[in-house]
Amino acid sequence: MATKIYSSKSIELLNGQVIELVPLKIKHLHDLMDEFENIKNVKDDMQAIDVLVKCAAIAMRQYYPKAELLEDVEDLVDLHMVYDILEYSANIKVNSKDDKDVKQKTMDGEKASGWSDLDLAKLESEVFLIGIWKDYRELELSLSMPELMATLSSRRELDYQEKKFLAAIQGVDIEKGQNKQNEWENLKARVFSKGKTSDGNDVLALQGVNAQKAGFGIGMGLDYEDLTKN
What single string gives the DSSP state of each residue in 153-166?
Answer: HHHHHHHHHHHHHH
Q: 110, 107, 87, 119: which is closest to 186 by C-alpha?
A: 119
What confidence category does residue 61 fall into, taking pLDDT thresholds of 50, 70 and 90? very high
183-191 average pLDDT score: 66
User: Are both 130 and 214 inside the same structural domain?
Assistant: yes
pTM, to two decimals: 0.68
CB-based contact 23:145 (threshold 8 Å): yes
Residue 209 lies in a domain: yes
User: Are both 109 and 123 inside the same structural domain?
Assistant: no
AA letter at 97: K
Number of domains present in the structure of the chain? 2
User: Are both 99 and 121 inside the same structural domain?
Assistant: no
User: Are both 189 and 105 inside the same structural domain?
Assistant: no
Residue 3 lies in a domain: no
The stretches of 2-118 forming alpha helices (DSSP H) are 26-36, 45-63, 70-74, 79-90, 102-110
Three-class DSSP category at 91: coil
d(CA 8, CA 30): 19
Please give the C-alpha separations between residue 187 and each of 111, 140, 190, 195, 201, in angstroms, as whole numbers: 15, 20, 5, 10, 12
139 backbone dihedrals φ, ψ, rounded to 5°:
-60, -45
3 state SS for 168-216: HHCCCCCCCCCCCCCHHHHHHHHHHCCCCCCCCCCHHHCCHHHHHHHCC
The residue among 116, 135, 161 that closes a domain is 116
What pLDDT sits at residue 165? 82
Q: Which domain holds residue 106?
A: 9-116
User: Are both 76 and 128 inside the same structural domain?
Assistant: no
What confidence category does residue 40 fall into, taking pLDDT thresholds of 50, 70 and 90? confident
User: Are both 102 and 128 inside the same structural domain?
Assistant: no
User: Are both 39 and 69 inside the same structural domain?
Assistant: yes
CB-based contact 184:205 (threshold 8 Å): no
User: Are both 100 and 42 inside the same structural domain?
Assistant: yes
Tens of pLDDT, residue by residue over 118-163, are 788 888 998 998 888 899 999 999 999 999 988 888 888 888 888 8
Three-class DSSP category at 21: strand
Residue 21 lies in a domain: yes
d(CA 30, CA 39): 15
User: Are both 98 and 189 inside the same structural domain?
Assistant: no
Residue 169 lies in a domain: yes
User: Are both 150 and 216 inside the same structural domain?
Assistant: yes
AA letter at 36: F
6 backbone dihedrals φ, ψ, rounded to 5°:
-155, 165
